[in-house]
Structure 1
């Protein structure tokens, strides 16, 4: 390995030096070649310009000056008239020289002559003068081959220095190769840069690591699945070890006991709640038995199911399932109260009807009193029918079991139609009914909206003074449509305002009986509004009247 590194680095360094040297030499030579040509052209231009201006006197000064360029003046027939380096009379005829011939024919000529013996090359530039004679300027420089030979000593010196540097670097790299062997990454063996002999061992280690990682990955996926299931269910789940310490608690359970899931881990279950039902549940489960009971936290009720986790009949832990049954119990309580109230409300008119009918049957009623008794029986029967109708309506609203379609309804038109049905009832108490506002479209079930408006106006009339007023208004806002029913009647005391929307709740039962109220009117209004996702707001002052506002969303 060490020898291979030495050879590779030395060879790479040698090739790099040679290639770089030749490239640099060639580039420098090319630039020098172009520069030399340009200088010869410029010099020929200057001398020819001088000759054309002052004549052959321009050559007299050139004879006495030291000049690196050779200047030759040739006649039209090729005879050399002047040369600044050699006696002109001793020179041969230049008529056939390429640069001279081109200058005589074309006005200028150029040529490059290479001397293989001296390793030099000469640049020639010939220019035809105004009188037909030819001026030639030439300059000699080393050829590219001689230039390269001149660089060889420097290249050899640089190569020697680089080889020495390469040997030092190779030695450092050898140490660097040995160092990883002492610091192998066993967690990721294939990432190690080591000898080939260790590759089979590292490959087997890599396969084992992959198997272990795969097993951990499957365990992690199962853990994530378990967390995803337990964290997104509404029931509380708590896992304990055999000492009662909390190993796991989901968000629902933490919310029930108002604790943090992280802070409560590895703490005893009784730190959550020390109620007797919970203590008894843990003791029973630790004894290996299933336990089921209910307990309360503040005003909320929960169903507790505790199951032991066994291994060969030995209890290893306990799982607690906690179900929030507050809403269920509230609904059950409401159903019981509703059933009791309905039974009571039905019993009262039935008892009256039965009593009046029994008196008439036994002949204890005078003939002239029979119409009055029949009228009472009729009124109680009407009250009974109205009560049954209201119970059916509110039951359907509770169950959302309404098959009527939604449609676009102008709330102002519907309010006007509904109020007109109550005009005779208002006239009996000389109450002034009015409808105002603007046309506003809402999406809803016409029959339900009509009952809601009817109940609001009916209540406003029944619980009002004689010669009072009931104002119904409809306003169209940017996002909402607002229905308002306001009266200047009896008003509702503050202590009753939070309960008037409850079923069968009456402020004055005797007055409700006189007016024929069932106690379900405002409850139907509330459920009708909820059915349309509307909000109901009540403002009332005793003796000054009541205002009930129903706000519908435009995009509903």
Structure 2
């Protein structure tokens, strides 16, 4: 029989074993019961026949004076005749020398015959599988006339038909194998025809409804996982292409400016400008690489379902984090002509300090970057519905409705030209999204084109 992966037997194998065990158990039980019944009936008949012959022979001996001579003259076949005195001494035995036999005073059939006139018993003989039957009658002389005969027992009876039993066992195994193969095909074929993708519960047997339901669930789960894997692969390819493009632009700019300075083509008065361009592009590269590394660690942390890649969580005042971020961005806000204010109450969350800082800094940086001259940015930290809310609002250009679901994607820019010219990496809001997930926080975005944007991040309150 074939074996299935994982060490599990095939259906036909299991049915074959079950049938053989069941049939063998029934056969053994029936054979044993029949044999016991046969032995009981057979021995009962033998006892009656032997008792009748014993009574007949006793009647004959009661009419003679020389019992030994009469017994010696009789043709008894396989029946053994023994004449026993009241004290147990054997005076005659048709199959042995009476002088060499021990006292029979303790034999049950002899004791019973002396007491009540007749007795019977049966004992397993020295010959394996045989039973000795005894019938005894007390004679008028006081002696006991005993007849005995050996008859086959159950074991001997079975051994006599051993070849027949072996043939029956072989037939049983063959029949079980044929039946199990046919039954397994009959049961399995409808199962093989089940189409899990249909989702219609097409089970051929009502007992298989749970199986079909589970198959449908697993099919849907598999399709979902395959879709997720494909989406992840597409995202990686797109990310790689975007990273390559984003890196090429500043590298090409740095290379071009450096070559002009190296080859002496750039005029002396233009060198500071080229150097400034190299410095700005180098800073942009540094920011891009830093953001990519942060996102990679966040991705790996999410895939592993572990936060061990980052420093241990600690208690942090989100209002203090917001104030620190705004202070660092003060010069940038002033240069852009944007006013930034921070308000709220001290609210504590548990998380990674660097990621919390990156989250707040990126939100504030975007609010400044996509604002207008004279615009305002409001940063609030407040308790909200049992959670801690970080709200960053601006009076900037806003986000078109069709783009609001995409702004947290990597390298997505509403206005690609303006974003790149303003030095953005295109990864700020992607980091915000993953940093929020890291802290089990929820993000809400509200925006109106030409009027501004509000992004709220709801953190679990510190336990």
Matched, 1:530 2:442: no
Residue correspondence of structure 1 range 379-458 to structure 2 within 5 A:
379-400=280-301, 402-458=309-365
The CA distance in 2 between the partners of 1:264 and 1:395, in whole Å, is 50
Question: Equivalent residue for 1:246?
Answer: 191
Describe the SS at the equivalent of 2:455. Answer: strand
Alpha carbons of structure 1 residues 355 and 477: separation in structure 2 relative to 1, 3 Å: same
Aligned partners of 2:329 and 2:365 also within 8 Å: yes
TM superposition shift of 1:465: 0.3
The CA distance in 2 between the partners of 1:529 and 1:263, in whole Å, is 49
Q: Once the two structures are superposed, what CA deviation does each residue of 1:443-473 show, in whole Å capped at 9, x if it has no partner?
A: 1111100110000000000000011100011
Aligned partners of 2:314 and 2:352 also within 8 Å: yes
Question: Equivalent residue for 2:241?
Answer: 340
Scaled by the length of structure 2, what TM-score is found? Answer: 0.53
TM superposition shift of 1:430: 2.4
Question: Equivalent residue for 2:201?
Answer: 260
Using CA pairs under 8 Å that are at least 6 residues apart, name the structure with larger relative contact order, 1 or 2. 2
Question: Equivalent residue for 2:422?
Answer: 515
The CA distance in 1 between the partners of 2:207 and 2:345, in whole Å, is 65
TM superposition shift of 1:549: 0.4
Scaled by the length of structure 1, what TM-score is found? Answer: 0.45
> Which structure's CA Rg is the greater one?
1
The CA distance in 1 between the partners of 2:198 and 2:279, in whole Å, is 57
The CA distance in 1 between the partners of 2:403 and 2:430, in whole Å, is 14
Aligned partners of 2:348 and 2:462 also within 8 Å: no
TM superposition shift of 1:494: 0.7
**Equivalent residue in structure 2 for 1:375, among 260, 270, 276:** 276
The CA distance in 1 between the partners of 2:251 and 2:300, in whole Å, is 28
Question: Equivalent residue for 2:46?
Answer: none
Aligned partners of 2:191 and 2:204 also within 8 Å: no
TM superposition shift of 1:414: 1.4
Question: Equivalent residue for 1:356?
Answer: 257
The CA distance in 2 between the partners of 1:408 and 1:536, in whole Å, is 21
TM superposition shift of 1:266: 11
Which ranges in structure 2 are unaligned for 5 or more consecutive residues? 1-36, 41-183, 214-218, 302-307
TM superposition shift of 1:241: 7.0
Higher strand share: 1
The CA distance in 2 between the partners of 1:385 and 1:369, in whole Å, is 24
TM superposition shift of 1:359: 2.0
Which ranges in structure 1 are unaligned for 5 or more consecutive residues? 1-196, 201-238, 273-296, 303-322
Aligned partners of 1:468 and 1:489 also within 8 Å: yes
The CA distance in 2 between the partners of 1:342 and 1:327, in whole Å, is 22
TM superposition shift of 1:341: 0.8
